[in-house]
Amino acid sequence: MESLVAALQAWVDTATDDDTTAVCATLHVAHRLKGYQGADGRWPDKLDLRTGRPVGEARTLAPLALLRRLDALQNTVEFQEACALAEAAGDFGPAIE
């Protein structure tokens, strides 16, 4: 998940006013991630990139920074609930930084 989030963050960096493809595609992934968030505020640590299904039982807070960034970029609160749930989980380790 950390690698996926890092790749999406880097892709968002390539967006321009004339070409927002990266942001739109990242938003699509972020919406999918909302569905994978558990009641504990964490997301699956690994996803099968072919199927999009979680793999294993490990959980992470890695998507939090990406969701915060997308809300800030759009000046919205679209991911506010997901972020609040993750923030309540605490334990902000290297996956968030």
Q: 94 falls in which pLDDT band (50, 70, 90)?
A: very low
Overall number of domains in the chain? 1
Structural domain range at position 73: 2-89
In a domain, 15, yes or no: yes
Model confidence, pTM: 0.87
In a domain, 96, yes or no: no
- Residues 84, 89, 93: CA angle, nearest 5 degrees: 110
| pLDDT cut 70: percent of the chain above it | 93
Compute the mean pLDDT over every residue in the chain, rounded to the nearest whole number.
91
91 close to 48: Cβ distance less than 8 angstroms: no
Q: What is the pLDDT of residues 24-45, one digit of tens each?
A: 999 999 999 999 999 999 999 9
In a domain, 95, yes or no: no
